[in-house]
Chains A and B, each alone.
Chain A
Amino acid sequence: MKVLLWVPFFIFPVLVQSNFVLTIFIFSFILAIAAVSFNLIFGFTGQLSMFHAAAFGIAAYITSLTVSMFRVSFWVALVPAICFTILISIVIGSICFKFKLKAFYFAVVTLAFSELARLIILNWNSVTNGTLGLMVLDKPFVWIPGAGFLKIDGALGWYFLTLVALILTVAVCSLVLRSWIGRCFAAIRLNEDLAETLGIDIFRYKLLSFTLANALAAIAGGLYAFYTGYIEPNYLGINQSLDIISMVLLGGRSSIIGPIAGAFVLTGLPHIIDLSGEARAILYGLVLILTILILPQGVIGTLEGWRRAA
């Protein structure tokens, strides 16, 4: 039944033929991928990772660099980006989880690694072009039955590409979460000591959650770079991490839909009321504070609570 919820999104661009609105949706879809995947480690496994934006940014750089250096297609370039993200997640995750870093210690150490990645990209001028960032001129091609290879260029093409990517992310997350893996994540989140005495390998499942979340963020990063056509080191910054956390907290971290709703509100709102960067940061901060104070379960979490009570 939940599949039907996606149908309006496919009809929407036919009804609303405004590039402005579609652009907001495209950004929302891409950031929703980042938020949904972040919620895998944060909301479902209970570990506050500050590396998520870094995984997103690193993958954005690797996809762009691979395309410009080796003249391969976007899809081919996505492979090394995801592989490298998985590799680096395993290394960082192993360090954190072997030393049993929890709560703020885990957050601080992952933040340190994320800053390390940002500083490397910022200072590796010969490859990454430093603060100036990289222009990404290529666009992905998609094979459509009957129409052959189509270049994804206009808003409509990107709308459907990112929508499908979001649906696939949601599908992967929901399949994982309803399986025994999801039960192990929940056990770790709810009571780590008990989970361990029940035979759950904490290290393995935390690492799996962290790696899977980062790998999905890598896809979002690649899409983002190619959609906007430009990447810069700030994509790996703490602000980007905080934006993603705000989306998850606003929407609610107990569901998959929550972060998507959060991504839509926090991406759409600044565009609709036309805010500058600083004003946008203030808005994010306000939304975050109000959500934590008034709706600790997030918007979707609160709605579900009402539905259950009714």
Chain B
Amino acid sequence: MLLEVIDLTKRFGGLTAVSDMSFAIAPGEIVGIFGPNGSGKTTLLNLITGVLAPTAGRILWKSAEIQGHSPHAIAAAGVVKTFQTPQLFLELSIYDNVAIASHLRLQRQFGMRRLAELLPWRDAARHVAVMQRIDSILTLCRLDGVRDRTAASLSYGQEKMLGVAIAMMCEPELLLLDEPASGLGEDEIRTLEEVLRDLRDAATTLCVIDHKVDFLARVADRAIALQQGLVIAEGAPANVLQNPRVIEAYLGRQHARA
């Protein structure tokens, strides 16, 4: 297992946002996590990426405990997330947005040999491999046509895509996407689905958190349904969506009985 969440609990004062949650993510799959507002989706994501520390429970990344580690350390270990509202470097060009995220790649590839970059006769832009990687990510995320525009000039759909591109430059083994489809039009959602499948084919494991059920049903290999901080169903998306508890959570009791 790539990521294992074991009996994870997070309380904010009297509110239990995540309650005894357990699940696992295997390498190479696309896992969809969904649930109504307030079901603990974003809290769960913040716990995994180290933005919040859990009240109880464990998170194992490749069998090593990572709960409570700092966000940058977890990112360096290979777990990277995108934001629900796109977080970008607005003043920079699309290309530079992705280039600035080459930090982890250089750290892994060169370690302290990065210090050689400080020598005046070394050209800092010599990392041809890094530049090729930026180009391929921009192509993958359908942003190669706008690479020289500033991030502030993008449409909302492109902003979301750039968020994914920046995260991909960190070479995550597990990419967590926080509501990637929210606020997108139908066409943009189709493109997003293609991009996500391309990413999976490029050996990235994906965990998509969203409340757009039909989108998740199309893109995910496996779905996990949450309600009020609990896992209420898990399995193939079609089966999970037929689960009476899931229907009840989404549409209310009357629909579940019908």
Contacts and interface: CB of A to CB of B under 8 A. Distances in A.
Nearest to B77: A199
Central interface residue in A171, A191, A193, by most chain B CB within 10 Å: A191
A187 B90 CA distance: 11
Given A190-B90, A194-B87, A199-B76, A179 B100 contact: no
B103 A175 contact: no
B145 interface: no
A256 B86 CA distance: 31
A197 interface: yes
Contacts of A183: 99-100, 102-103
Contacts, number: 81
B89 A200 contact: no
Do most interface residues of chain A lie in helix, strand or loop, or is the interface mixed? Answer: helix
A199 to B, nearest CB: 4
A237 to B, nearest CB: 34
A196 to B, nearest CB: 5
Contacts of A181: 118
Contact of B49 (A176, A184, A197): A197
A277 to B, nearest CB: 39
B195 interface: no
Given A183-B99, A187-B103, A198-B104, A176 B89 contact: no
Interface residues of A, number: 22
A179 B117 CA distance: 6
Interface residues of B, number: 34
A171 B90 CA distance: 28
Contact of B71 (A176, A179, A184, A196): A196
Given A171-B120, A194-B83, A199-B72, 20 more contacts: A176-B118, A183-B102, A183-B103, A186-B100, A190-B89, A190-B91, A190-B92, A191-B87, A191-B89, A193-B83, A194-B89, A194-B166, A197-B80, A197-B87, A198-B72, A198-B166, A198-B169, A199-B80, A200-B72, A200-B103
Interface of B: 49, 70-73, 75-76, 80-81, 83, 87-92, 99-104, 106-107, 114, 117-120, 124, 166-167, 169-170
24 contacts: A180-B102, A180-B117, A180-B124, A183-B102, A184-B103, A186-B100, A190-B91, A190-B92, A191-B90, A193-B87, A194-B87, A196-B71, A197-B49, A197-B75, A198-B72, A198-B100, A198-B104, A198-B169, A199-B72, A199-B75, A199-B76, A199-B107, A200-B72, A202-B72
